[in-house]
Structure 1
Amino acid sequence: MMATAVSANRLELLQIADAVAREKSIDRDIVLEAMEEAIQKAARSRYGVENEIRAQIDKKTGDIRLFRVIQVVEEVEEPATQISLEEARLDKEDAEIGDFLASPLPPMDFGRIAAQTAKQVIVQKVRDAERERQYNEFKDKVGEVITGVVKRVEYGNVIVDLGRAEAVMRRDQVIPREHIRNNERIRGIIYDVRRENRGPQIFMSRTKPDYMAALFAQEVPEIYDNVIEILSVARDPGSRAKIAVNANDASIDPVGACVGMRGSRVQAVVNELQGEKIDIIQWNPDVASFIVNALAPAIVTKVVMDEERNRVEVVVPDDNLSLAIGRRGQNVRLASQLTGWTIDIMTEAQESERRQEEFMAMSNRFIEALDVDDTLAHLLVAEGFTEVEEVAYVAAEELLGVEGFEEELVSELQRRATDYLERANREADDKRRELGVSDELLDVEGLNPRMLVALGEEEVKTLEDFAYCAADELTSKEDGILRSFSLSEEDASQMIMSARMALGWLDEADLAEGDATKEGGDAEGEEAVEAETATEEAAEEAVSKE
């Protein structure tokens, strides 16, 4: 009878391990390891916590064996877990330092407290294994659309049952004004999976642009087959969205394919997104054309791009202004997100008024500097002259090409322009000295006294101060120190390099290497940045040595 009972208990142990492994979808060996650890912990309370005890469960028969493990050492410090080499060789002749000796222990009966402790260990180990399984299962599903059942809604956050795990859809990831009920099926995209103490946290979203792109991929076979690409998505969740598509095959209309027969494909996505209006836009490699497409349905008459600031000014007819901006600025905001450019919208009347103001400002500059009448100043501006320097130093033939300009008039204009610049430079030089700007900066080719005044007012007063500047610090149209001097970023970089060479931070070889980086095609920008970074590092190293 006793043998039968023991056999039944052993068999039951393996059956329990199999049942837990199936229920929690984890490896049976992990459950058995948890049981072994639980038995070890209970055995330590029986035989003494100072002992190192190991338990083994036979995976075929369910037999439990207990061992006390001691290590062979030169000098015994912990008698409970260590043994000297001499004593070890009494039991095992070939024992060596570092070996472990295992001596069997008699089987033990679990008391109530020991059994409870063992249960806690097993439960914790199984829970940890289940969490690890969940994390490994979902970590590679980021970006996938998944369907679950709404378990509960807490303060706007939705807890979704995915079957073998739970996901959280935070209130800002739920489409506004969407009514979600318990036990209803809901779809979303997994956008993040994190390991946390309380278990893996799976985050779902219905508002991410990627979710809309994934829905289109499900509805449009050409997108799934990579014949059509979704290049950009911008959303105002629950209200309106814009999606830019392009076909890799010239014979396919990407917009028509996404709309589908009688709008069936796009309508399926709209229904899933609670009626969100979707504008499907043809992508264009020409940025100006792409921006015009993105602002649809508004009509655009003119586009002025500022690549340095990544801004674009768009001119629309007066009656299209509200359409281009959209309700609460929605249309222009989505177009800006879609294209990656900051878009400023103005009417034709506003643009005309601004051009007139700029025209008058430049004309007044010539009237004051050259002492000419309105007609002559307007004529210079109309011919494309914007600065007094252009009049002073341009070839006389260009001015003679202006209708009505004779040689005597051109000569007089250039003399007056030169006199004005010399006078302005003298006044600027006096102010430059008052500000304490070093004479060394005058030797940097391209810098004039008026520029030095602007630098001095921003506390750039020595050659070393100037050498530490970056090109965009000087030329940025928003806050560049020399923004009012029609200075290109390339010219500014050359000036900074000259200052660094004058200080000995660079030599001709470094400069030649920096110039070579500008001939690398698409890699030009990155290489130039690396060269400038290396230059700044060299400069800092030179200063530290001093």
Structure 2
Amino acid sequence: MKVGSTHLFIRCKKLNRNGRMKTELRAAITQLSAERNLPKEVVLAALESALVSAYKRETSALEQDVVVKIDPNVGGISFYVQKTVVESVANPDREISLEDARALRTGAQVGDVASIECTPRNIGRIAVQAAKQVVLQRLREAEHRIIYEELTDREGKVVSGIVQFIEPKRVYVRLNRTEAMLPLNEQVPREHYYRGQRLKFYLLDVAQGGKEPQIIVSRSHPNLIRRLFELEIPEVHNGIVELKAIAREAGHRTKVAVTATQENVDPVGCCLGPRGIRLQSIIKELNSEKMDVIQWHADPGVFISNALSPAQVASINISKETNTATVTVPDKQLSLAIG
């Protein structure tokens, strides 16, 4: 089609459509939209595309440029064959002569695109049944595309899911309208998963697969800790308290280093909450994984002392070349420092 070309919409016949069919069509569009949680525009586009396929199959008009228009307000369906206006017709399926175009509309010019209505009389139940499978396929594709776009925006965040079924090397989780996979290397060794279990997961990766999005979630990723802190602790969510570092041995122990971005704010106290209730809610989500919140410090020596607290540190020898630290503690404090 040439840029700037004119479209001519020409009605060849006027049909008396059954009012009941219109009502059923409107109801079907509304129902599909609600059941699939898809915008009505997406459902309409899928139905129009499906009806084009059904029309071409029924009329053997595979080479024609067919367009279907559905009026969702009244439930009307119109079929058009689009043809380019030319001086001399070489392809009757795609072209119409200037003489014939002007017989339909006097203002037609070469290069215009004429949309000639070709709505069949038996479009009702026959066309809808013929298009049924195509409609469902297009709706599945649209649904998968919308799910992919939604989850791509949530990649790197926490999502809630329900364990569906368990295999030796993976666990399948239901995330609202789609399914995600929890591979063995992203599981917590000490956790036992069972069908119907509701958990929070770190959305690790979303990829566009062959039929539907391929979604990988994690229970062992250190960033799960970061996102849970953001959910449970308002000061972390608002940026008043910053998580500087996270060291996690999934299922056993996690240490979180925090600092305040404002004066007169106790970052450790904010994370603990009254009687430790904030931290306990995170620990409960992690199935009682031990967790320490420590004060971060720019001085490595002070930071290490804070990390080993309440053990008393006798001396710290830091090697910048090997990026290691040798810490000396009293004999009686050794088990406390290691623990």
TM-score computed with the length of structure 2 as normaliser = 0.82
Whether 2:110 is the aligned partner of 1:97: answer: yes
Which residue number in structure 1 is paired with residue 281 of structure 2? 268
Percent sequence identity is 34
Distance 1:104 1:257, change over 3 A: closer
Q: Distance in 1 between matches of 2:76 and 2:327?
A: 85
Which one of the candidate residues 313, 320, 331 is aligned to 1:299?
Answer: 313
Which residue number in structure 2 is paired with residue 68 of structure 1? 81
The correspondence of residues 423-502 of structure 1 with structure 2, limited to 5 A, is: none
Which residue number in structure 2 is paired with residue 27 of structure 1? 39
Further displaced range: 171-180 or 112-121: 112-121
Whether 2:288 is the aligned partner of 1:238: answer: no
SS of structure 2 residue aligned to 1:57: strand
Q: Which amino acid aligns with 2:315?
A: T
TM-superposed deviation, 1:61: 1.8
Q: Distance in 2 between matches of 1:278 and 1:166?
A: 30
Q: Distance in 1 between matches of 2:58 and 2:327?
A: 86
C-alpha contact (below 8 Å) 2:312/2:330 kept by paired residues: no
Which residue number in structure 1 is paired with residue 30 of structure 2? 18
Q: Can you give the 5+ residue segments of structure 2 that lack an aligned partner in the other structure? A: 1-14
Which one of the candidate residues 115, 136, 149 is aligned to 1:136?
Answer: 149
SS of structure 2 residue aligned to 1:70: strand
Which residue number in structure 2 is paired with residue 119 of structure 1? 132
Q: Which amino acid aligns with 1:305?
A: S
Compare the two structures and name the one with the higher strand fraction.
2
Distance 1:98 1:256, change over 3 A: same
Q: Distance in 1 between matches of 2:204 and 2:314?
A: 37
Whether 2:65 is the aligned partner of 1:58: answer: no
Which one of the candidate residues 202, 221, 228 is aligned to 1:189?
Answer: 202
Which residue number in structure 2 is paired with residue 528 of structure 1? none
Question: What is the CA deviation profile of residues 70-99 of structure 1, one whole-angstrom value per residue up to 9, with x for unaligned ones?
Answer: 112456442211134454344433323321
Further displaced range: 294-303 or 36-45: 294-303
Distance 1:295 1:18, change over 3 A: same
SS of structure 1 residue aligned to 2:142: helix
C-alpha contact (below 8 Å) 2:68/2:78 kept by paired residues: yes
C-alpha contact (below 8 Å) 1:299/1:320 kept by paired residues: no
Name the structure, 1 or 2, with higher relative contact order (CA <8 Å, separation 6+).
2
Q: Which amino acid aligns with 1:92?
A: R
C-alpha contact (below 8 Å) 1:161/1:167 kept by paired residues: yes
Distance 1:262 1:112, change over 3 A: closer
SS of structure 1 residue aligned to 2:18: helix
Q: Distance in 1 between matches of 2:253 and 2:109?
A: 76
SS of structure 2 residue aligned to 1:60: coil
Q: Distance in 1 between matches of 2:292 and 2:93?
A: 76
C-alpha contact (below 8 Å) 2:66/2:80 kept by paired residues: yes
TM-superposed deviation, 1:5: 8.4
TM-superposed deviation, 1:42: 1.8
TM-superposed deviation, 1:26: 0.7
SS of structure 2 residue aligned to 1:97: coil
Aligned residues: 323
Distance 1:117 1:8, change over 3 A: closer
Q: Distance in 1 between matches of 2:276 and 2:119?
A: 78
Whether 2:270 is the aligned partner of 1:257: answer: yes
Question: What is the CA deviation profile of residues 434-458 of structure 1, one whole-angstrom value per residue up to 9, with x for unaligned ones?
Answer: xxxxxxxxxxxxxxxxxxxxxxxxx
Q: Distance in 2 between matches of 1:293 and 1:75?
A: 88
SS of structure 2 residue aligned to 1:191: strand
Q: Distance in 1 between matches of 2:270 and 2:85?
A: 75
Which residue number in structure 2 is paired with residue 356 of structure 1? none
TM-superposed deviation, 1:262: 4.2
- Superposition CA RMSD, Å: 3.1
Q: Distance in 2 between matches of 1:32 and 1:220?
A: 44
Which residue number in structure 1 is paired with residue 298 of structure 2? 285
Question: What is the CA deviation profile of residues 133-158 of structure 1, one whole-angstrom value per residue up to 9, with x for unaligned ones?
Answer: 22233322234333222222233422
Which residue number in structure 2 is paired with residue 544 of structure 1? none
C-alpha contact (below 8 Å) 1:292/1:300 kept by paired residues: no
Distance 1:118 1:278, change over 3 A: same
TM-superposed deviation, 1:22: 0.7
Whether 2:170 is the aligned partner of 1:157: answer: yes
Whether 2:261 is the aligned partner of 1:248: answer: yes
Q: Which amino acid aligns with 2:313?
A: I
TM-superposed deviation, 1:203: 2.9
Compare the two structures and name the one with the higher helix fraction.
1
Q: Which amino acid aligns with 1:209?
A: P
Q: Distance in 1 between matches of 2:201 and 2:150?
A: 17
Distance 1:224 1:46, change over 3 A: closer
Distance 1:60 1:178, change over 3 A: same
Q: Distance in 2 between matches of 1:250 and 1:29?
A: 52
Which residue number in structure 2 is paired with residue 312 of structure 1? 324
Q: Distance in 1 between matches of 2:337 and 2:270?
A: 28
Which one of the candidate residues 169, 187, 194 is aligned to 1:174?
Answer: 187
Q: Distance in 1 between matches of 2:187 and 2:301?
A: 34
Q: Distance in 2 between matches of 1:100 and 1:295?
A: 78
Which one of the candidate residues 204, 211, 235 is aligned to 2:224?
Answer: 211
Q: Distance in 1 between matches of 2:57 and 2:238?
A: 63
TM-superposed deviation, 1:38: 1.8
Q: Distance in 2 between matches of 1:106 and 1:229?
A: 64
C-alpha contact (below 8 Å) 1:45/1:114 kept by paired residues: no
Distance 1:45 1:219, change over 3 A: closer
Which residue number in structure 2 is paired with residue 9 of structure 1? 21
TM-score computed with the length of structure 1 as normaliser = 0.53
SS of structure 1 residue aligned to 2:26: helix
Q: Which amino acid aligns with 1:223?
A: V
C-alpha contact (below 8 Å) 1:298/1:320 kept by paired residues: no
Which residue number in structure 1 is paired with residue 53 of structure 2? 41
Q: Which amino acid aligns with 2:55?
A: A
Q: Which amino acid aligns with 1:212?
A: I
